[in-house]
Protein backbone atom coordinates (compact mmCIF):
# COMPACT_ATOMS: atom_id res chain seq x y z
CA UNK A 1 0.00 0.00 0.00
CA UNK A 2 1.29 3.42 -0.95
CA UNK A 3 2.03 5.29 2.30
CA UNK A 4 0.46 8.44 0.91
CA UNK A 5 -2.93 6.69 0.96
CA UNK A 6 -2.50 6.09 4.69
CA UNK A 7 -1.62 9.70 5.48
CA UNK A 8 -3.23 12.10 3.02
CA UNK A 9 -6.78 13.00 1.94
CA UNK A 10 -7.96 11.13 -1.13
CA UNK A 11 -11.01 9.41 -2.50
CA UNK A 12 -11.54 5.75 -3.29
CA UNK A 13 -13.81 4.20 -5.89
CA UNK A 14 -16.48 1.74 -4.79
CA UNK A 15 -17.09 -0.42 -7.89
CA UNK A 16 -19.96 -2.27 -6.21
CA UNK A 17 -22.02 0.94 -5.96
CA UNK A 18 -20.26 3.02 -8.64
CA UNK A 19 -19.54 5.90 -6.26
CA UNK A 20 -16.61 7.62 -4.60
CA UNK A 21 -15.72 7.58 -0.89
CA UNK A 22 -13.71 10.44 0.65
CA UNK A 23 -10.90 9.24 2.95
CA UNK A 24 -9.30 11.68 5.44
CA UNK A 25 -6.78 9.68 7.52
CA UNK A 26 -5.13 12.77 9.01
CA UNK A 27 -8.36 13.56 10.91
CA UNK A 28 -7.83 10.68 13.36
CA UNK A 29 -5.48 12.97 15.28
CA UNK A 30 -8.23 15.42 16.23
CA UNK A 31 -9.54 15.31 19.84
CA UNK A 32 -13.07 13.98 20.30
CA UNK A 33 -15.54 16.29 22.06
CA UNK A 34 -18.74 14.97 20.50
CA UNK A 35 -21.45 12.64 21.74
CA UNK A 36 -20.61 9.45 23.58
CA UNK A 37 -22.88 6.50 24.38
CA UNK A 38 -23.69 4.86 27.68
CA UNK A 39 -22.71 1.19 27.65
CA UNK A 40 -25.14 -1.20 29.31
CA UNK A 41 -23.32 -3.46 31.74
CA UNK A 42 -26.27 -5.38 33.23
CA UNK A 43 -26.12 -9.13 32.67
CA UNK A 44 -28.66 -10.65 30.29
CA UNK A 45 -30.72 -13.53 31.71
CA UNK A 46 -30.93 -16.98 30.12
CA UNK A 47 -34.72 -16.50 29.96
CA UNK A 48 -36.70 -13.26 30.24
CA UNK A 49 -40.40 -13.59 31.13
CA UNK A 50 -41.02 -10.15 29.61
CA UNK A 51 -39.39 -11.01 26.27
CA UNK A 52 -41.89 -11.82 23.52
CA UNK A 53 -39.24 -13.85 21.64
CA UNK A 54 -38.45 -16.20 24.54
CA UNK A 55 -40.18 -19.61 24.33
CA UNK A 56 -43.71 -19.74 25.74
CA UNK A 57 -44.18 -15.99 26.13
CA UNK A 58 -47.03 -13.94 24.61
CA UNK A 59 -46.10 -11.54 21.79
CA UNK A 60 -47.26 -7.96 21.48
CA UNK A 61 -49.66 -8.84 18.68
CA UNK A 62 -51.49 -11.37 20.85
CA UNK A 63 -49.89 -14.53 19.46
CA UNK A 64 -48.05 -17.02 21.69
CA UNK A 65 -44.41 -17.88 21.06
CA UNK A 66 -44.13 -21.68 21.13
CA UNK A 67 -41.73 -23.68 23.29
CA UNK A 68 -39.10 -23.92 20.55
CA UNK A 69 -35.70 -25.48 21.20
CA UNK A 70 -33.72 -24.43 18.12
CA UNK A 71 -34.75 -21.69 15.70
CA UNK A 72 -38.20 -20.16 15.31
CA UNK A 73 -39.64 -18.22 12.36
CA UNK A 74 -42.85 -16.20 12.38
CA UNK A 75 -44.47 -13.41 10.40
CA UNK A 76 -43.65 -10.05 11.95
CA UNK A 77 -46.55 -8.88 14.11
CA UNK A 78 -45.92 -5.31 12.92
CA UNK A 79 -44.73 -6.00 9.39
CA UNK A 80 -43.52 -3.13 7.20
CA UNK A 81 -44.94 -4.93 4.15
CA UNK A 82 -48.05 -7.02 3.57
CA UNK A 83 -48.88 -9.69 0.98
CA UNK A 84 -52.02 -7.80 -0.02
CA UNK A 85 -52.09 -4.04 -0.58
CA UNK A 86 -54.37 -1.57 -2.38
CA UNK A 87 -53.47 -0.90 -6.01
CA UNK A 88 -51.50 2.34 -6.29
CA UNK A 89 -50.25 3.72 -9.61
CA UNK A 90 -49.59 7.44 -9.48
CA UNK A 91 -47.41 9.44 -11.84
CA UNK A 92 -47.91 13.20 -11.93
CA UNK A 93 -45.57 14.83 -14.45
CA UNK A 94 -42.99 12.15 -13.74
CA UNK A 95 -42.36 13.87 -10.39
CA UNK A 96 -44.97 12.63 -7.92
CA UNK A 97 -44.68 8.90 -8.43
CA UNK A 98 -46.02 6.15 -6.20
CA UNK A 99 -46.79 2.49 -6.75
CA UNK A 100 -47.93 -0.55 -4.81
CA UNK A 101 -45.33 -2.53 -2.88
CA UNK A 102 -46.33 -5.94 -1.56
CA UNK A 103 -44.15 -8.16 0.55
CA UNK A 104 -43.68 -10.52 3.47
CA UNK A 105 -41.73 -9.74 6.65
CA UNK A 106 -40.60 -12.53 8.94
CA UNK A 107 -38.61 -12.72 12.16
CA UNK A 108 -36.08 -15.49 12.78
CA UNK A 109 -35.12 -16.28 16.37
CA UNK A 110 -31.61 -17.72 16.29
CA UNK A 111 -31.88 -19.48 19.65
CA UNK A 112 -34.29 -19.93 22.59
CA UNK A 113 -31.53 -18.56 24.84
CA UNK A 114 -32.17 -14.89 25.56
CA UNK A 115 -28.54 -14.25 26.57
CA UNK A 116 -26.79 -15.43 23.40
CA UNK A 117 -25.56 -13.66 20.26
CA UNK A 118 -23.91 -14.93 17.08
CA UNK A 119 -20.60 -14.24 18.84
CA UNK A 120 -21.45 -16.55 21.75
CA UNK A 121 -23.49 -19.24 20.00
CA UNK A 122 -21.84 -22.55 19.08
CA UNK A 123 -20.95 -23.00 15.41
CA UNK A 124 -23.45 -25.90 14.88
CA UNK A 125 -26.24 -23.65 16.18
CA UNK A 126 -25.20 -20.86 13.79
CA UNK A 127 -25.13 -23.43 10.98
CA UNK A 128 -28.80 -24.17 11.72
CA UNK A 129 -29.52 -20.46 11.33
CA UNK A 130 -27.77 -20.48 7.93
CA UNK A 131 -29.92 -23.44 6.87
CA UNK A 132 -33.10 -21.60 7.90
CA UNK A 133 -32.01 -18.52 5.94
CA UNK A 134 -31.65 -20.78 2.90
CA UNK A 135 -35.03 -22.44 3.47
CA UNK A 136 -36.76 -19.11 3.91
CA UNK A 137 -35.15 -17.71 0.78
CA UNK A 138 -36.47 -20.62 -1.30
CA UNK A 139 -39.94 -20.47 0.26
CA UNK A 140 -40.36 -16.72 -0.09
CA UNK A 141 -38.89 -16.55 -3.60
CA UNK A 142 -41.55 -19.04 -4.71
CA UNK A 143 -44.25 -16.38 -4.25
CA UNK A 144 -44.96 -15.02 -7.75
CA UNK A 145 -45.03 -11.39 -6.59
CA UNK A 146 -41.63 -11.55 -4.83
CA UNK A 147 -38.48 -10.31 -6.59
CA UNK A 148 -36.02 -10.01 -3.71
CA UNK A 149 -35.38 -11.63 -0.34
CA UNK A 150 -33.34 -9.55 2.13
CA UNK A 151 -31.83 -11.33 5.14
CA UNK A 152 -30.51 -9.01 7.85
CA UNK A 153 -29.85 -8.54 11.56
CA UNK A 154 -29.85 -5.37 13.65
CA UNK A 155 -27.86 -6.01 16.81
CA UNK A 156 -28.07 -3.65 19.78
CA UNK A 157 -30.35 -0.80 20.81
CA UNK A 158 -27.92 1.62 19.15
CA UNK A 159 -28.89 0.06 15.81
CA UNK A 160 -32.61 0.19 16.50
CA UNK A 161 -33.05 -3.38 17.72
CA UNK A 162 -36.12 -3.35 19.96
CA UNK A 163 -35.26 -6.65 21.66
CA UNK A 164 -31.87 -8.10 22.76
CA UNK A 165 -33.00 -11.67 22.12
CA UNK A 166 -30.84 -13.18 19.32
CA UNK A 167 -32.88 -12.70 16.16
CA UNK A 168 -32.83 -11.34 12.66
CA UNK A 169 -35.33 -10.44 9.98
CA UNK A 170 -36.19 -11.59 6.47
CA UNK A 171 -38.04 -9.18 4.21
CA UNK A 172 -39.32 -10.34 0.83
CA UNK A 173 -40.22 -7.48 -1.52
CA UNK A 174 -42.11 -7.06 -4.76
CA UNK A 175 -39.34 -4.90 -6.22
CA UNK A 176 -35.56 -5.09 -5.83
CA UNK A 177 -34.57 -2.57 -3.10
CA UNK A 178 -32.23 0.34 -3.83
CA UNK A 179 -28.95 -1.12 -2.53
CA UNK A 180 -29.09 -4.52 -4.28
CA UNK A 181 -30.48 -2.81 -7.41
CA UNK A 182 -27.44 -0.53 -7.47
CA UNK A 183 -25.14 -3.51 -6.93
CA UNK A 184 -26.90 -5.41 -9.73
CA UNK A 185 -26.16 -2.62 -12.21
CA UNK A 186 -22.53 -2.33 -11.16
CA UNK A 187 -21.93 -6.09 -11.24
CA UNK A 188 -23.63 -6.46 -14.61
CA UNK A 189 -21.50 -3.67 -16.09
CA UNK A 190 -18.32 -5.37 -14.87
CA UNK A 191 -19.45 -8.82 -16.03
CA UNK A 192 -20.37 -7.49 -19.48
CA UNK A 193 -16.95 -5.88 -19.86
CA UNK A 194 -14.73 -8.51 -18.25
CA UNK A 195 -16.68 -11.78 -18.38
CA UNK A 196 -16.40 -12.57 -14.66
CA UNK A 197 -18.22 -11.46 -11.50
CA UNK A 198 -16.92 -8.19 -10.06
CA UNK A 199 -16.58 -9.54 -6.52
CA UNK A 200 -14.68 -12.63 -7.67
CA UNK A 201 -12.12 -10.36 -9.34
CA UNK A 202 -12.07 -8.09 -6.29
CA UNK A 203 -11.51 -10.99 -3.88
CA UNK A 204 -8.63 -12.25 -6.00
CA UNK A 205 -7.01 -8.80 -5.77
CA UNK A 206 -7.49 -8.63 -1.99
CA UNK A 207 -6.01 -12.11 -1.51
CA UNK A 208 -2.97 -11.01 -3.49
CA UNK A 209 -2.45 -7.83 -1.46
CA UNK A 210 -3.54 -9.27 1.93
CA UNK A 211 -3.66 -5.81 3.55
CA UNK A 212 -7.36 -5.72 4.40
CA UNK A 213 -8.05 -9.41 5.13
CA UNK A 214 -9.56 -9.88 8.60
CA UNK A 215 -10.21 -13.63 8.74
CA UNK A 216 -10.49 -16.55 6.33
CA UNK A 217 -11.27 -20.23 6.11
CA UNK A 218 -11.51 -22.72 3.26
CA UNK A 219 -14.86 -21.36 2.06
CA UNK A 220 -15.09 -17.68 3.10
CA UNK A 221 -12.99 -14.54 3.47
CA UNK A 222 -13.79 -11.56 5.72
CA UNK A 223 -12.16 -8.25 4.85
CA UNK A 224 -12.50 -4.52 5.28
CA UNK A 225 -13.32 -3.34 1.75
CA UNK A 226 -10.97 -0.87 0.10
CA UNK A 227 -13.92 1.55 -0.20
CA UNK A 228 -15.34 1.04 3.31
CA UNK A 229 -17.42 3.88 4.76
CA UNK A 230 -18.18 2.68 8.29
CA UNK A 231 -15.07 2.70 10.53
CA UNK A 232 -14.96 -1.08 11.07
CA UNK A 233 -17.13 -2.21 8.18
CA UNK A 234 -16.46 -5.72 6.87
CA UNK A 235 -17.41 -7.65 3.77
CA UNK A 236 -17.82 -11.45 3.83
CA UNK A 237 -17.18 -13.19 0.52
CA UNK A 238 -17.33 -16.85 -0.54
CA UNK A 239 -14.19 -18.07 -2.29
CA UNK A 240 -16.24 -19.81 -4.99
CA UNK A 241 -18.90 -18.32 -7.24
CA UNK A 242 -22.38 -18.58 -5.70
CA UNK A 243 -25.33 -16.24 -6.20
CA UNK A 244 -27.61 -16.86 -3.20
CA UNK A 245 -27.75 -18.27 0.32
CA UNK A 246 -29.94 -21.16 -0.84
CA UNK A 247 -27.28 -22.13 -3.41
CA UNK A 248 -24.54 -22.53 -0.78
CA UNK A 249 -23.00 -25.99 -0.59
CA UNK A 250 -22.64 -27.93 2.65
CA UNK A 251 -19.03 -26.83 3.08
CA UNK A 252 -19.89 -23.21 2.26
CA UNK A 253 -22.66 -23.20 4.88
CA UNK A 254 -20.32 -24.65 7.49
CA UNK A 255 -17.64 -22.12 6.57
CA UNK A 256 -20.14 -19.26 6.78
CA UNK A 257 -21.23 -20.33 10.27
CA UNK A 258 -17.61 -20.38 11.40
CA UNK A 259 -16.92 -16.98 9.82
CA UNK A 260 -19.97 -15.34 11.40
CA UNK A 261 -18.83 -16.46 14.83
CA UNK A 262 -15.23 -15.37 14.22
CA UNK A 263 -16.11 -11.92 12.97
CA UNK A 264 -18.74 -11.09 15.61
CA UNK A 265 -16.54 -12.43 18.41
CA UNK A 266 -13.67 -10.36 17.03
CA UNK A 267 -15.81 -7.23 17.13
CA UNK A 268 -16.60 -7.99 20.77
CA UNK A 269 -12.91 -8.22 21.59
CA UNK A 270 -12.08 -4.92 19.90
CA UNK A 271 -14.93 -3.14 21.65
CA UNK A 272 -17.04 -3.92 24.70
CA UNK A 273 -19.50 -6.77 24.21
CA UNK A 274 -22.16 -6.96 22.98
CA UNK A 275 -20.99 -5.06 19.90
CA UNK A 276 -23.76 -3.29 17.91
CA UNK A 277 -24.06 -3.63 14.14
CA UNK A 278 -26.35 -4.03 11.17
CA UNK A 279 -25.54 -7.09 9.07
CA UNK A 280 -27.18 -8.35 5.92
CA UNK A 281 -26.71 -10.57 2.88
CA UNK A 282 -26.94 -9.42 -0.71
CA UNK A 283 -27.64 -12.02 -3.35
CA UNK A 284 -29.16 -12.18 -6.82
CA UNK A 285 -32.78 -11.08 -7.34
CA UNK A 286 -35.33 -13.91 -7.52
CA UNK A 287 -36.84 -12.74 -10.81
CA UNK A 288 -36.48 -15.97 -12.82
CA UNK A 289 -33.59 -14.41 -14.74
CA UNK A 290 -30.02 -15.77 -14.78
CA UNK A 291 -27.62 -13.57 -12.85
CA UNK A 292 -24.09 -14.78 -13.64
CA UNK A 293 -22.82 -11.33 -12.64
CA UNK A 294 -23.91 -11.74 -9.02
CA UNK A 295 -21.74 -12.97 -6.15
CA UNK A 296 -23.38 -13.54 -2.77
CA UNK A 297 -21.85 -11.46 0.02
CA UNK A 298 -22.60 -10.11 3.50
CA UNK A 299 -22.08 -6.58 4.80
CA UNK A 300 -21.36 -5.73 8.45
CA UNK A 301 -22.00 -2.05 9.26
CA UNK A 302 -20.92 -1.30 12.87
CA UNK A 303 -21.54 2.26 14.16
CA UNK A 304 -18.67 2.61 16.65
CA UNK A 305 -15.94 5.02 15.65
CA UNK A 306 -12.98 4.65 17.99
CA UNK A 307 -14.26 3.16 21.26
CA UNK A 308 -17.31 1.48 22.73
CA UNK A 309 -18.75 4.90 23.63
CA UNK A 310 -18.04 6.94 20.47
CA UNK A 311 -20.57 6.43 17.71
CA UNK A 312 -20.27 7.15 13.99
CA UNK A 313 -23.10 9.23 12.55
CA UNK A 314 -23.78 10.07 8.92
CA UNK A 315 -23.98 13.87 8.97
CA UNK A 316 -22.90 17.02 7.15
CA UNK A 317 -20.81 16.29 4.07
CA UNK A 318 -21.80 12.62 4.15
CA UNK A 319 -25.49 13.50 3.88
CA UNK A 320 -25.01 16.36 1.44
CA UNK A 321 -21.87 15.42 -0.48
CA UNK A 322 -20.52 11.87 -0.44
CA UNK A 323 -19.52 9.19 2.10
CA UNK A 324 -16.41 10.04 4.14
CA UNK A 325 -14.21 8.18 6.63
CA UNK A 326 -11.23 9.02 8.84
CA UNK A 327 -9.95 5.57 9.84
CA UNK A 328 -8.42 3.88 6.80
CA UNK A 329 -9.63 0.40 5.84
CA UNK A 330 -6.07 -0.86 6.32
CA UNK A 331 -5.94 0.40 9.91
CA UNK A 332 -9.35 -1.04 10.74
CA UNK A 333 -8.42 -4.37 9.17
CA UNK A 334 -5.23 -4.58 11.25
CA UNK A 335 -7.18 -3.94 14.45
CA UNK A 336 -9.82 -6.57 13.67
CA UNK A 337 -7.25 -9.07 12.41
CA UNK A 338 -5.26 -8.87 15.64
CA UNK A 339 -8.43 -9.39 17.68
CA UNK A 340 -9.58 -12.40 15.67
CA UNK A 341 -6.11 -13.91 15.53
Three-state DSSP class for 307? strand
Which residue range is the domain that position 109 belongs to?
44-340
In a domain, 200, yes or no: yes
The response to whether 215 counts as a known ligand-binding position is no
What integer pLDDT is reported at residue 1 of this predicted model? Answer: 60
Q: Could you tell me if residue 27 is inside a domain?
A: no
Distances (CA, A) of 228 to 90, 157, 185: 37, 23, 19
Catalytic residues: 167
State yes or no: 160 annotated in a binding site.
yes
Is 305 contained in some domain?
A: yes
How are strands ordered across the β-sheet holding 10-14? 10-14, 19-23, 324-325
| 219 in a structural domain | yes
Of the chain, the end-to-end C-alpha distance in Å amounts to 22
CA separation for the pair 281, 150 (Å, rounded) = 7
Q: pLDDT tens digit string along 50-109?
A: 999 999 999 977 899 999 999 999 999 988 999 988 888 999 999 988 888 999 999 999
Q: Give the CB-side neighbour count of residue 213, counting CA atoms within 13 A.
A: 17
Report the alpha-carbon distance of residue 110 to residue 164 in Å, rounded. 12
Torsion of CA 312, 234, 263, 127, to 10 degrees: 120
Establish if 12 belongs to a structural domain: no
Question: Model pTM?
Answer: 0.92
Residue 103 in domain? yes
60 is in an annotated binding site: yes
CB atoms within 10 A of CB 292: 14
* CATH classification of the domain holding 260: 3.30.428.10
Higher pLDDT, 98 or 304: 98
* 297 annotated among ligand-binding-site residues: yes
Residues 109-154: pLDDT tens digits?
999 999 999 999 999 999 999 999 999 999 999 999 999 999 999 9
- At 36, is the pLDDT very low, low, confident or very high (cuts 50, 70, 90)? very low
Query: Are 280 and 153 contacting, i.e. CB atoms less than 8 angstroms apart?
Result: yes
185 is in an annotated binding site: no
Q: Is 105 annotated as a binding residue?
A: no
Q: Domain for residue 209, yes or no?
A: yes
Q: Could you give the number of structural domains in the chain?
A: 1
Query: CB burial class (10 A; 0-12, 13-18, 19+) of residue 167?
Result: buried
Q: Is 136 annotated as a binding residue?
A: no
In a domain, 33, yes or no: no
Which ranges of the chain would DSSP assign to H, the alpha helix? Answer: 3-7, 123-141, 178-194, 198-209, 250-270, 317-320, 329-340
Amino acid sequence: MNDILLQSPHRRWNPLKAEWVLVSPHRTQRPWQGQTEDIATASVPHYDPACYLCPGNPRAGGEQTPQYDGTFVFTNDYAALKPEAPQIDQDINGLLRAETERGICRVLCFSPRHDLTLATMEVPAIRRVVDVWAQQEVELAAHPEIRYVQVFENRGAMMGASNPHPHGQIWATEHVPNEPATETRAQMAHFTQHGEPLLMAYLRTELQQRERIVAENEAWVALVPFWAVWPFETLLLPREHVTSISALSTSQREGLAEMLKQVTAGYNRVFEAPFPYSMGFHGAPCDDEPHPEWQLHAHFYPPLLRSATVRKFMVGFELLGSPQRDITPESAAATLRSAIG
